[in-house]
Chain A
C-alpha cells in the first residue's frame, strides 16, 4: 500500500515537471518555411454547437489557397478545437494549440466568455487573433494590440435597423426583446441611441433569458403595449418561440432581428416557415448570393467540405479569415508576427464578402456597417439595403 502510494507520488511529480518545463520550453513560432498554422475554437458539441461550424470553415479557405500553392510558398494549416462553449475548456484548448502545435494566428473564435478568458493569454504569447465570431466591446475598447475585430457592433446594428424601421417602414411603435446579457443589451443600446436621437421612446423593452421556452407573457406584453415592430437580440430558439407564440394569439408585428438570426435557411426550417418576412441585419453577403466571390466559396465548400451546409455561419468563418489572408499576402516572403501586425494595422477599406474593413494602430474595430436582409419564401435571402453605416456611432468620433 505504502509503496504504491510513493510510486504514484513520484509519477505525479515527474509528469507535472515534464508538463511544466514543457510549457516553459515550447511555444513554437507558428510558421516555418512550409506552413503557417492558424486555428479556431468553437462549440462542436453541446447546446451551442450550431455556431460551431464557423470554426470549421477556415479549412475551406485554406484548401483553396493551398491548391494554388499557398501564400508565398507557405501552405495554410487550420486547426479546429471543441471548447463546448465553456470558457474553462476554451483556455485548455487554446493553451494546447499554442504550446503544442504552435499557432501563428487564431481566426474566428466563438463565444464571448471564452474569448474574454483567452485574449490576454494570446497577447502575452504574441499570438494574433483576427475576426472573432462575435462582437464584444472589450475586444476592441481599449485597443488590444494583437486582436482585430471584423464583426460590426450590435449597437451599430441596433441603430441602423431602428432607423430603417422608422424611416423606410414608417413604423413608430417599437418594441425590443433583448437577451439579458451584453449581446442583448448592446443591441438595446443601439435602438435607444437611434430613438434618443429622434426624441422617441420604445413602447416596450423586455429582457429574456436564453434558455426560456415559454414566452407567452412576453408576447402579450408586446401586444398590449401596441408594438407594431419588434426588434430582437436573442438566441435563435428564443426567436422561434417568440414568433410561434405570437402566431398563437394572432399578433403580427413586423419582426426585426439581429444578424445572429440571419441564417434564413435554418431559421425558416425550425420555425415551421414562420421566419418568412422577417427582417434582419447582416454582416456579409448572403450565402445564396450570385456575387462571384460568394459563388467561388460556395463551390469550394462543396468540394472540400461536402458534408457542411453552406449557411451564414459557415460562410462567416471564411469571411472572418479573409483579412488575415490578405495581410499574409501583403507581407510577402519575410514572414513575422510584427510584419503581419503592421499589415493589419494599415488595412484600409479592405472588402471581401464582409463589410469594409479599416484598422489602424489605435482602432481595431474594423467595421461600422451592416446590410439589411429579409427572409423570402423558402428561406431565400432578399437584400433590402446594401452596406449601411451607422452615422451615430460614437466610437468613431474621437
Chain B
C-alpha cells in the first residue's frame, strides 16, 4: 500500500510541480505571485474543451489550440493589466492579479456555465501497468512524469543556451543592467507571462482530466502548486519540482493516516516554510547554481 501511495503522491506531485513552474517563472520575472494563474489555466482548458466538443476537432488540435490561446492570454494580461501599472507596489500587483482572476472566472461562468464538464486526455487512467508486485501506475501518471521530465530538460536548455532564455535570467537578476545591455525587458516580461500561461495550461488539462472541468476547478491545485513553489524557494525550477514531489507524498501519507488533516497540509507547509526558511528548502543549492 505504501508503494502505491508513493506512486500516487509522486504523480500528483509532478502535476503540482509543473503548475508550480508556471508560478515560479512569473514570480522570478515580475516578482508577483500571480493569483490568476489557476484561472488562466482554467480558461485555456475550457478553450480545449470548446474546440473538442463544439467544433468537434480531434484532440491534438484542441490541445495545440489551447496552448496557443494560453500564450496569447498570458501576453494579453501582462500587456493590458500589469504593464500600465506605473511603479506598482507588491500589494498593487497582487490586487491586479486577483482582479484578473475574478474576471476570468466570471468570463468562464458566463461562457460555459458553472456545471461541471468532462475533459479527457488520451492518456487514460483506466489503463494500468504493474510496476512491481501490488504497485500499479496508470497512463495518466506516466504522461505526467514524461511531461515534467521533458519540461525540465527543455527549460534547462532554454535558460542555458537560447538568447531569450539568457535574457530572461539577466532580467530576473538585474532589470536595470539588462536594459542597458540592450535587452528588451518588456518583451521578456510578456514572454514570461505567455510561457508561464502555456505551462499552466498543460498542467490545467491534466488536472481537469483527473477531476472535472468547471470555472472553480483550479483553485485547489493552485494552492498546492504555490506550496510546492514556496517549498522550493519560489525562485528555483529544480526547487519547485522537488517541492512538488515532497508535497505530493506528504499529502498522501497524511491523507492515508489522518484524512481530516489532509486539506491543511499545503497551508501548514506554506506557513512553516515562510516562518522557518523563507528562502525555501534548497536556497543555498540554488544560489550556487544559476
Contacts and interface: CB of A to CB of B under 8 A. Distances in A.
In their complex, do chains A and B touch, with some C-beta pair under 8 Å?
yes
Interface of A: 43, 45-50, 52, 180, 206-209, 211-218, 220-221, 223-224, 236-237, 240-241, 244-245, 247-250, 266, 269-272
B262 A216 contact: no
B114 A206 contact: no
Given A217-B251, A241-B210, A248-B125, A211 B219 contact: yes
Given A216-B9, A250-B128, A270-B118, A244 B210 contact: yes
Contact of B116 (A214, A217, A236): A236
Contacts of B212: 236-237, 240-241, 270-271
Contacts of B115: 49-50, 266
A218 B259 contact: yes
A237 B126 contact: no
Nearest to A269: B118
B117 A270 contact: yes
A49 B4 contact: no
Given A50-B115, A237-B116, A270-B118, A248 B138 contact: yes
A68 to B, nearest CB: 32
Nearest to B9: A216
A216 B106 CA distance: 31
Contacts of B106: 45
Interface residues of B, number: 46
B256 A213 contact: no
A58 to B, nearest CB: 20
A50 B114 contact: yes
Contacts of B34: none
B136 A250 contact: yes
Contacts of A271: 118, 212
Interface in B46-101: none
B255 A47 contact: no
Interface in B257-283: 259-260, 262-263
Nearest to B128: A250
Given A237-B214, A248-B128, A248-B138, A46 B114 contact: yes
Interface in B118-132: 118, 120, 125-126, 128
23 contacts: A45-B109, A46-B109, A47-B216, A206-B259, A211-B263, A213-B211, A213-B220, A214-B12, A214-B224, A215-B255, A216-B5, A217-B252, A217-B254, A220-B252, A221-B255, A221-B256, A241-B210, A241-B212, A245-B210, A248-B138, A249-B136, A250-B136, A266-B116
Interface in B165-218: 207, 210-212, 214-217
Nearest to A177: B259
B113 A49 contact: yes
A209 B224 CA distance: 15
Contacts of A209: 262-263
B128 A217 contact: no
Contact of A270 (B5, B116, B255, B262): B116
A249 B259 contact: no
A220 B120 CA distance: 23
A100 B189 CA distance: 51
A312 B278 CA distance: 50
A59 to B, nearest CB: 18
Nearest to B11: A216
B4 to A, nearest CB: 6
A223 B110 CA distance: 40
A398 B288 CA distance: 75
Contact of B12 (A206, A216, A236, A269): A216
Contacts of B110: 45
B39 interface: no
A240 B136 contact: no
Contacts of B1: 220, 223-224
Contacts of B128: 248-250
Given A45-B114, A47-B114, A248-B125, 16 more contacts: A48-B114, A49-B114, A211-B263, A214-B224, A214-B251, A216-B8, A216-B9, A217-B253, A218-B255, A218-B259, A220-B5, A237-B214, A240-B212, A248-B126, A249-B8, A269-B117
Nearest to A49: B114
A43 B262 CA distance: 28
A213 B211 CA distance: 6
A47 B263 contact: no
Contacts of B263: 209, 211-212
A47 B114 CA distance: 6
A52 B114 contact: yes
B221 interface: yes
Contacts of A236: 116, 212
A45 B221 CA distance: 21
A213 B253 contact: no
Nearest to B261: A207
A217 B219 contact: no
Contacts of A180: 260
B140 interface: yes
A208 B256 CA distance: 12
B211 A249 contact: no
A217 B207 contact: no
Contact of A208 (B109, B252, B259): B259
The 7 A-B pairs at the shortest CB distance, nearest first, are namely: A49-B114, A217-B255, A216-B8, A47-B216, A248-B125, A217-B256, A50-B115
A221 B259 contact: yes
A217 B11 CA distance: 13
B2 to A, nearest CB: 9
Contacts of B8: 216-217, 220, 249
B116 A212 contact: no
A32 B106 CA distance: 38
Nearest to B253: A217
Nearest to B256: A217
